[in-house]
Amino acid sequence: MKKRATMPKGALNLTASLVSILAGLLVGFILLMIFNFDKALYGFGNIVLTGLRTPDRVAKVLYTAAPLLMTGLSVGFAFKTGLFNIGASGQYTVGAVLALVGAILWQLPWYACILLGMIGGAVWGAIPGICKALFNVNEVITSIMFNWIGLFSANLFLYNSPRMLANAWGAINKDRTAALDKANPSAILPKLGMDKAMGSNYMNISIFIAIIAAFVMWYVLQKTTFGYELKACGYNRNASRYAGINDKRNIVLSMVIAGALSGLGGALYYLSGTGQFTMGKQLLSMGFNGIPIALLAASHPLGTILSALFIGYIQVGGEALQPEFAKEIIDIIIAAIIYLSAFSLLMRELILRGRSRRRQAEEEKSRQAADTVEE
């Protein structure tokens, strides 16, 4: 009778995530009905279907999903090793800017820029990691601070680097970085003809790079001694110390890798050639969306691929809500869906509890049946 409700872990996580997604969509639908009852069904249809309507939209989904996948991997990887990397946004920003520096100032090709982005993110992740390992400073606090430090350092740097800005390359704006097709076309990610095939400028290899990264992370965590050590530290730091694992080194390495993943995300997004880095006073949401993406996937690297595609999909769908719904409402709805998606942990617990209760009731019944037979 000691058996717990047995259900394969993967299937359980998947069910929990799907239930959360459905709940999120339902809340989104209710919100739509509150704001504009007549158009609610139409709007909801847009959220759910737009992403597959045209090849161009599919391309946009993949383009949005690539950086989300990277920040999701970053947060999930840190989770697996027992760290909460809330600094993905800062690492993403620093990675993006360093990649753009390589592209615009140094006129490097795209792969070198990607590498620079990873290095930028890695450095930004390493600092909270070092603080945690050496001085036991909580990584949540340091990495939140480093989000802001990263953002304003990037702004400060861009203000003082006129060559980086769009107006130096024949455009009029000076609040954003130069468009890559003018500044350095060789830094734009290869499109391999997919853009023509799908009729979309958004299509490039970024999603494939991100998916490869997800598989690499899965391999590292699942199959290597390094991943074994990282997970041991994450689950039980004392036991890993007892086993002679250098926990301090692993904390730093884990944050370095998480940072590099986020930095790669920033590089992929801005090297697509369709977006320009705009100096603003708000943290980039791409980094924070990595948190629900990781949660939705229960931090599993391969699951992260699916959850990033899903979040990318509804974001693109949300864009199609205009003009019937205000732009802010779209953000609220997406936020509600993401928020409820993050409940997948809770859902998992509820599913488990429901199953074990049912099982118990069945056992009870069969026992009673057996008892009556005996009598």
Partner 1 sequence: MSEYIIEMLNITKSFPGIKANDDITLRLRKGEIHALLGENGAGKSTLMSVLFGLYQPDSGTILKDGAPVKISSPNDANALHIGMVHQHFKLVEVFTVLDNIILGAEKTRWGVLRKDEARRRVVELSERYGLKVDPDARIEDISVGMQQRVEILKMLYRDNEILIFDEPTAVLTPQEIDELMEVMRGFAREGKSILFITHKLAEIMKVADRCTVLRKGRLIGTVDIADTSREKLSRMMVGRDISFNVEKKESAPGEKVLEVEGLTVPSRLHKKNAVKNVSFTVRRGEIVCLAGIEGNGQTEFVQALTGLEKAGSGSIRLKGREMTDMPIRERSRLGMSHIPEDRHKFGLVLDFTLEENLVLQRYWEEQFQHCGHILRRPVREYAQRLIEQYDVRSGQGAQTIVRSMSGGNQQKAIIAREMDKEADLLVAVQPTRGLDVGAIEYIHRQIVAQRDAGKAVLLVSLELDEVMDVSDRILVMYEGEIVGEFDPRKVSVQELGLYMAGAKRDDKKEAV
Name the residue nearer to partner 1 (CB basis): 39 or 231. Answer: 231
Give Cα separations from 230 to 74, 85, 136, 184, 302 (angstroms): 14, 15, 17, 39, 18
Question: Using CA atoms, how far apart are residues 216 and 26, in angstroms rounded to an integer?
Answer: 35
Question: Using CA atoms, how far apart are residues 164 and 104, in angstroms rounded to an integer?
Answer: 6
Identity (one letter) of the amino acid at 216?
V
* Nearest residue to 261 (alpha-carbon basis) of 130, 57, 72: 72
Stretch that binds partner 1, among 2-10, 13-21, 174-182, 259-267 (CB under 8 A): 2-10
Is residue 300 within 8 Å of 13, Cβ to Cβ? Answer: yes
Q: Which of 53, 182, 223, 358 touches partner 1 (CB under 8 A)?
A: 223
How many residues line the site for partner 1 (CB under 8 A)?
Answer: 28
Stretch that binds partner 1, among 11-19, 25-33, 195-203, 220-228 (CB under 8 A): 220-228
Tell me if 201 contacts partner 1 by CB under 8 A. no
Tell me if 361 contacts partner 1 by CB under 8 A. no
Min CB(354)–partner 1 separation in Å? 10
Window 228 to 257, contacts with partner 1 (CB under 8 A): 228, 231-232, 235-236, 238-246
17: number of CA atoms within 13 Å, CB side? 22
Tell me if 225 contacts partner 1 by CB under 8 A. yes
Q: Which of 53, 174, 327, 353 touches partner 1 (CB under 8 A)?
A: 353
Name the residue nearer to partner 1 (CB basis): 79 or 124. Answer: 79
Stretch that binds partner 1, among 60-68, 219-227, 305-313, 340-348 (CB under 8 A): 219-227
Question: Using CA atoms, how far apart are residues 346 and 293, in angstroms rounded to an integer?
Answer: 15
Question: Using CA atoms, how far apart are residues 4 and 359, in angstroms rounded to an integer?
Answer: 9
Using CA atoms in the order 11, 12, 16, 21, what is the torsion angle rounded to 10 degrees?
-10
Min CB(1)–partner 1 separation in Å? 5
Q: Residues interacting with partner 1, by CB under 8 A?
A: 1-5, 223-226, 228, 231-232, 235-236, 238-246, 353, 356-357, 359-360
